[in-house]
Structure 1
């Protein structure tokens, strides 16, 4: 009993240590499976070989956003001037999702041209940008406007002012792409129109994607945060924990009940094989398990016939059928249906099957 209890404790510990798929309720997060999350896009990007790194602090985002990576910044309502300046100074290509007041910090070529409407509308690319033309149409709200010659505006709304659109891009020393609405990235809308094409092309340009969703607990500094719980433990804590585990294991083995030699004892009654067969048949009949009964009859007939014809137990069904065809002269299709056909639908069909199998075996024995 103690050994079983110890095994159960160890098993629970191992299961608890196994990594589990992380999920959250953070809007537009790559681990959020809800309609407003973005796990679907993150999973597709990972399958395409993109290393998606989900961060919640400016310090982590700045540390991971090196040259040759993509930094996705989702909304800016929780960011301070210091945080925005730190993000803007990174060498990574930028993708800004639903930015507001912070947009001028990242680029002087694009500005916001209006608030988001109540519901996203279907918009056509209407520009020469490769990512936008590949998407064709998207569902989005809001409007952006070019304030410099290097900006390209795409996906204008039907009621928006001329020269505005939901997507803007600036090509230069580093690429800055801006999407006025988070809708195309969400699980709910990713499969609509060309949303997936635009999102995957925007976020999959580099092998590493730093996915930054600001949080309330973000300190806004680029320095490391305070020590973790493991840092507060003394250096000898892991060794002591291992010793305690070893002591517990030795104690369990010492106090555990050892099993002795196996003791044989005669059965109280002897059950004949014929009675066992009839009992199983009655169980099949009571449970209307004609399929199981037919499978047992067919398996027995095939095994005995194959042994009679010199075939090994591992012979495939095709070999058994071919051998029975040569031995009995019957049609190959008829034998295949008899041994491997569909289960009978009633008792009369099961009885006919048993007679047919018995007749087939008798022909094999005569041969």
Structure 2
């Protein structure tokens, strides 16, 4: 029979107690006591993640970033440029860099991960002046229309080298230690090499000739001259400010290793560009990893079912006595009382024609009418608390048997 769901003025029903001696409220309290610390820890972790997600640190640790105050960063150069009136726009996506760079601006591309071919083409096609620091050979060739190539892995000179060119910014910088890894391709014009060492040079500038001119592309093989720990050495500061402060707006691109954005023809965003926030890729990979770990952790590894025949036939009476001994050994008087009450409730309900879908109140009232007992007495007998000792359990069994007899005589 189900638990009582309503009461009537003439029937006061006690709270239904299950076989293990607990109530619904008690089980809920036990679950809360077992899980509250786990829920508290999860809540604290969620709060920490939310705070970290909405707060952005004042500085970063990304090499060559304008907000990185560590030795590998370039915050010092960025702050000096800002005080000189240059607007520094820090971006990490190629699509954002291409959208921000235009005529009258300078696009700085710092060393980063391998760029996709479409990203290289998008960067090489901007109308802004470009400064490439330690860029890959593909980007150097694309930005200079094949006039300059880069051979990585060149050794730094053992002594400071004169610029050996007539560029004003190189003359102001003077002698420097720049790794020579740039060279002019055969047949290329309008290319100036500075700080050469046995052929290759540390800096190459492509500046179209003519009255209207065009964009200027400058490639530097060694990008360390803009870092915080080296900017004050020799002429590094003069070279950095001369290259990056030529225009009023500087777009500072620090490529994100997970960035796949670019722009299509006509400056239109390519498929997938700008649809998701920059951190969506990292969060997606992390979520996938969490799902896989949870699947491995919680997956059930069960073998095929095996049918096994019992070696002997166990009589039902023996099974009943065995269960009774187990109840007695474990002092499970609540389970034993629940079994007796359930059997009595099913017997009297069948005798009185009470359907199985009826609630406890309906059965209690039917038994009270048939036996002449009070509804409270019947409810306490069928749905009361578990007995506290063996004598009380024996008394409960005797009273239930008496109740069945009264119902059968009615």
Report the equivalent of 1:139. 177
Matched, 1:64 2:100: yes
Question: Is the Cα contact below 8 Å between 1:139 and 1:195 reproduced in 2?
Answer: no
Q: How many residues align?
A: 209
Distance 1:184 1:228, change over 3 A: closer
Matched, 1:195 2:195: no
CA distance in 2, matches of 1:77, 1:21: 23
Farther off after superposition, 99-108 or 186-195? 99-108
Unaligned runs of 5+ in 2: 1-51, 209-213, 264-268, 279-410
Question: How far does residue 114 in structure 1 lie from its aligned partner after superposition?
Answer: 5.0
User: Of 147, 171, 177, which residue of structure 2 is paired with 1:109?
Assistant: 147
Report the equivalent of 2:221. 180
Question: How far does residue 120 in structure 1 lie from its aligned partner after superposition?
Answer: 7.7
Report the equivalent of 2:275. 226
Match of 1:167, SS state, is strand
Question: Is the Cα contact below 8 Å between 1:95 and 1:176 reproduced in 2?
Answer: yes
Runs of 4+ in 1 over 6 A off after TM superposition: none
Question: Is the Cα contact below 8 Å between 1:40 and 1:187 reproduced in 2?
Answer: yes
Match of 2:176, SS state, is strand
CA distance in 1, matches of 2:63, 2:105: 23
CA distance in 1, matches of 2:258, 2:158: 31
Report the equivalent of 1:50. 86
Deviations 1:267-303 (A, max 9, x none): xxxxxxxxxxxxxxxxxxxxxxxxxxxxxxxxxxxxx
CA distance in 1, matches of 2:128, 2:91: 15
CA distance in 1, matches of 2:97, 2:171: 30
Distance 1:119 1:57, change over 3 A: farther
CA distance in 1, matches of 2:179, 2:252: 22
User: Of 243, 258, 271, which residue of structure 2 is paired with 1:217?
Assistant: 258
Question: How far does residue 143 in structure 1 lie from its aligned partner after superposition?
Answer: 2.0
TM-score for the superposition, normalised by structure 1: 0.53
CA distance in 1, matches of 2:176, 2:262: 36
Unaligned runs of 5+ in 1: 1-15, 230-367
User: Of 111, 122, 125, which residue of structure 2 is paired with 1:86?
Assistant: 122
CA distance in 2, matches of 1:36, 1:80: 25
Alpha carbon RMSD of aligned pairs, Å? 2.4
1:169-318 to 2 correspondences below 5 Å: 169-172=205-208, 173-222=214-263, 223=269, 224-226=273-275
Question: Is the Cα contact below 8 Å between 1:114 and 1:142 reproduced in 2?
Answer: no
Deviations 1:65-90 (A, max 9, x none): 01110000112542111000001111
1:327-346 to 2 correspondences below 5 Å: none
Match of 2:79, SS state, is helix
Match of 1:166, SS state, is strand
Asked which structure has the greater CA Rg, the reply is 2
Report the equivalent of 1:126. 164
Report the equivalent of 1:28. 64
Question: How far does residue 119 in structure 1 lie from its aligned partner after superposition?
Answer: 7.7
